[in-house]
Structure 1
Amino acid sequence: MACFIYINGYPGVGKFTVASALSKLIPRSRVFHNHLVIDPVAAMLDRDDADAYNDLRTTFRRHALDTIATHPALADKTFIFTDARESGPLGSEAAQNYKAAAEERGVPFISIVLHCDVDENVRRLGGRRCAKDGEGASNTKLTDDEILRKIREEETIFQFGDENEMCLDVTSLEPDHSAFLILQHVNAIHHRLDKDN
C-alpha cells in the first residue's frame, strides 16, 4: 500500500540519509527531499527578500505536491519527503501541504520527527562541510554550527501530534537502523488500517 512519509527535523539531523536508507526498504518508493524545492528557488531569489523567496518556495512546493498527488503514473508510489519545519505559522502551513497532498491522493500520511542531541547534531553538520566540496552537494544546506545552535534554541520542530506520528531519537542510531524502525512503524500503521477496513 502506497503512503506519504514525511520526515521532519532540524537541519543536519540526518533526514536525507535516513530517507535514502528507508527508500531501499520500501519497493516503489521515491525520496523527495526539501532541497529539491529550496535549491531552484535559491538559484533565482536571495533569502534576503523573504516575502518573494517564501512565496516562490510555497508555489514551487505546492505545484510539486499537486503533481505527486494527482499524476496517474505515481499512484502506486510511496513518497518519502524530508523537511525542516518549525512550529510557527509559516512552518506549520508548509507541513500541512504534505498532509493535504496525501489526502488528495487518498493514501495514509505518516509523520516522522527525527531528533538528536545538540552535540551530535553539530558533529553531523561538520560532516556536511566536508561533503559540500563533493560533486552534487547542495549549496544551500546549512553548515554553520552557530546558526544551527540558534535555530535549536529559538525554534521547535513542527509535530502533527496524531496517532500516525513517530518521534525518533537518532542520536546513537545508524541510518539503516533508523530506517528499519520507521519501516516497522509504517507497517504497523498499514496493518491497523487494513484491520479497520
Structure 2
Amino acid sequence: MESPAVAATGPFETCVVHMLGYPGMGKRTIGSELATLLDGVLVDNALINRPLLELFRWDGVELLPPEIWERARQIRDAVLSTIEDLAPPSNSYIFTNVIEEGPTAAAEYDRLRSVARRRRSLFLSVMLSCDIETQVSRIDNPDRVARRKGSDPEGYRVHRLHTSLYQPPPADVFHLDTTVTPPSENAARIYEALRERGFAPVAG
C-alpha cells in the first residue's frame, strides 16, 4: 500500500528521490521512467559501481574482493560532492541504492538527505517491495548482466531471506509494490507523491 502524503513545506522547484529496495525490485527501471517525467538525472548504483566491476569483467556471480566496496564508496562520495558543489541547481536527481541494516546505514542515508537539503530540493525516499518469486525471476535477465549487476537468482533469494534493509524515517518514505504494476505507472505514482509534498517545477 502506498504511504499517505506528508504536509508540504515547499514549494520546491527540484527534488532528490532515493529509490530503495532489494536487488531486482525495479529501482533502475522505475527510476528511468521517473527521470523522464522530471527531466531529471538518474544516478543508478551501477553508475557508481560499474567502473570498478568492469575491471574484473564481473559476471554477477563470482565473489569480489570485499575491499572493492570501500573504493566504490569513494566514487559515491565524489558524485555527491560534485552534485552539491558544482552541478546545476536546476537539476533534479533520482538515486537507486540498497542500504543494508548496520552501524553505517543511517549515516549513508543521511548523507544523501543532506545533499537535498543543501540544494533546497524536496527529498523523498521510495521503498520498493515485491513478491520474492517475481524478484528472483528478474535477477538473471540480460540487462542486469550487461550492467555488471548481480545475476545469481538463488544467491539473491538467500540475501532477501536473511538480510534486513535499513528503514528510513517514516515521514520520508513513499511505499510501492512493484510485483505487477508497470514501471511507468509506478513512476507516475511517485511523481504525484512529489507534487503532493510540495514539488512545483518551473515550467520550461
Range of TM-score over shorter length: 0.7 to 0.9
Q: Which runs of 4+ in 1 moved over 6 A?
A: none
Q: Decide whether the 8 Å contact of 1:164 with 1:189 is kept in 2.
A: no
Output the CA distance in 1 between the equivalents of 2:91 and 2:199.
Answer: 18
SS where residue 172 of structure 2 aligns?
coil
Residue 92 (structure 1) shift: 3.7
Matched, 1:131 2:126: no
Letter in 1 for 2:27: K
Matched, 1:179 2:195: no
Q: Quickly say closer, same or farther: Cα 1:132–1:10, change in 2 above 3 A.
A: closer
Q: Decide whether the 8 Å contact of 2:24 with 2:135 is kept in 1.
A: yes
Residue 10 (structure 1) shift: 0.7
SS where residue 198 of structure 2 aligns?
helix
User: Which runs of 5 or more residues in structure 2 are unaligned?
Assistant: 1-12
User: What TM-score do the two structures reach when normalised by structure 2?
Assistant: 0.81
What does residue 195 of structure 1 align with? Answer: none
Residue 95 (structure 1) shift: 2.6
Letter in 1 for 2:51: P
What does residue 4 of structure 1 align with? Answer: 16
SS where residue 82 of structure 1 aligns?
strand
SS where residue 96 of structure 1 aligns?
helix
Output the CA distance in 2 between the equivalents of 1:30 and 1:86.
Answer: 24
Give runs of aligned pairs for residues 70-81 of structure 1, distance below 5 A. 70-71=85-86, 73-81=87-95
CA RMSD of aligned residues (A): 2.1
Residue 36 (structure 1) shift: 0.8
Q: What is the aligned residue count? A: 183
Selected match of 1:167 from 150, 171, 175: 175
Selected match of 1:65 from 60, 76, 80: 80
Give runs of aligned pairs for residues 76-155 of structure 1, distance below 5 A. 76-126=90-140, 128=141, 130-132=142-144, 137-139=146-148, 141-155=149-163
What does residue 34 of structure 1 align with? Answer: 45
Q: Relative contact order (C-alpha < 8 Å, sep 6+): which is higher? A: 2
Structure number with higher helix proportion = 1
Q: Decide whether the 8 Å contact of 2:15 with 2:199 is kept in 1.
A: no
